[in-house]
A and B are shown apart, each in its own frame.
Chain A
Amino acid sequence: MQTLAPRCLRLIALCALALAGGCASSNNVDPFEKSNRFMYNVNDGFDAVVLKPLSVVYVAIFPKPIRDGLGNAFNNLRYGNVIANDFLQGKMQQGLGDLGRMAANSTIGIGGLLDVATPMHLPAHDNDFGTTLALWGVGQGDYLVLPIVGSSTVRDAPGLAVDYATYPLAWVNVPLAAAIPLDVTETADARARGDVLLRFRNEAALDPYVFTRTAYLQYRENLIHPGKPAPADQDLYNIDDTPPASQPATGPSK
């Protein structure tokens, strides 16, 4: 159900969009579109063959309360990443609160299965190294589609390494017999949670690749600068179709 544009027209399309001076930002940020689309299709295939059936089995085996508990536990294990980045961004109070959250959930919450921290006024936060880099002044970078992980950018990709470095089980010598089922279950859980959205995207979008890219980039921007409208935003709602004077009507993008 995907729309694959003829690749031979891509260069012409890029030039045309740049000259039109309109919403060309999506192509300026995706110079690797050809290989990104390829990886997107690979991921999609992998998802259909491996991930989706896995999540179906997961949902069939575990009833909802147990899945909720497992989801909590996995979020808790990954929370070290949030804490580290809180401190890296200078958010001391939030960092300490998040540290308390992880401690409370890990102990009173029985290994993270129960979320006891939220009622204790230690709510969950979302943070990662991509956000840290953004707040340190690094530009967004080009859009990337990574194997299995999916949407990312040049700025967000290093966050995967930081995520791994702050994962407790990366430092503990967990035998493969336990580590693999753990990873598989975590993946299945994440996939099951995202299922409604993925189905929606595949049904609603005329071009799921572009849908995913636009949604991802906007979502990231909102995470880093919550509530602040993007600079191009006002042009988005301008019915007067004259291209804004500030747009450079030069040749092809970089």
Chain B
Amino acid sequence: MSMFKRFGGMAVLGLVLSLVFALGATPTTAPTTAPATSPAADDPASAATARSMVEKLLSQVTTILRDPKLTKAQCSQKVREIAYGNIDFPTLARLTVAQNWRTLTAQQQSDFVEQFRTHLAVTYAHITDDYDNEDLLAVGDRQESNGDWTVMTTIVGKKTGDPKQDVTKVDYRLRKADNRWKVIDVTIEGVSLVANFRAQFQDIISNGGFDHLLQLLKDKNAADAK
């Protein structure tokens, strides 16, 4: 309970808002990078550095979230599209199963990426509904030893109801592939999406094998879709 006391209010919003970036579109398109059209100047795809990519991303998302003419469903859909274009799902999915990936067949691998993406999309379908005029700001960046970049951002709330939680730290880890930066992990107040899913999946795989994990994901997706 004490943990959730700290996680109340804005931190919760921060958690769910940032996980917006883990949304996926409907699983009809193949899990490859975006089509090779030349991107507009304010499009994250054209960003030279990881930080400028995140800044453009946050700016696009904030514009959508603050647009008074959009319904919540439209908001959610548009943000999902942005997220889909800027997250590297195959890498993300692969990182959550770690060394088990090599033991999988190609069919299992693509099934898993699909199920994982659906799982995230279904779970986070409505989080943008709670947006309450927070600022999304990039505040720093650092290079990691393997060439990735981590961009630090904050979500700054405007309420003073729960002062401890008005600022939520969100870090995005980006990897460059095909000459553009894509998100491969989101870390909110120290809690990493990849680490968390990896811990869960490792536990499940070690107790029931990979097929058990895949089946669990399918069952959950089917149940949540209703």
Instruction: Give the interface of A toward B (CB within 8 A).
Output: 3, 5-6, 9-10, 13, 16-17, 20, 22-23, 26, 51, 64, 67-68, 71-72, 75, 115, 118, 123-124, 126, 148-152, 187, 190-194, 196-198, 200, 203-207, 210-211, 213-216, 218-219, 221-223, 226-227, 229, 234, 236-239, 241, 243
Contact = CB atoms under 8 A, between A and B. Distances in A.
Q: Is the interface of A mostly helix, strand, loop or mixed?
A: helix
Contact of A218 (B94, B159, B195): B195
Interface in B68-123: 91, 94-95, 98-99, 101-102, 119, 123
B5 interface: yes
5 contacts: A75-B163, A193-B162, A200-B15, A219-B6, A234-B146
A40 to B, nearest CB: 13
A210 B200 CA distance: 5
A206 B50 CA distance: 31
Contacts of A16: 206
Nearest to A221: B190
B217 interface: yes
Contacts, number: 176
A236 B200 contact: no
Interface size class of B (residues with CB under 8 A): 35 or more
Interface of B: 1-9, 11-13, 15-16, 91, 94-95, 98-99, 101-102, 119, 123-124, 130, 144-146, 148, 152, 159-164, 173, 175, 184-185, 189-192, 194-196, 198-204, 206-208, 213, 216-217, 220, 224
Contacts of A64: 161
A196 B12 contact: yes
A115 B160 contact: yes
A104 B204 CA distance: 50
B162 A222 contact: no
Nearest to B123: A204
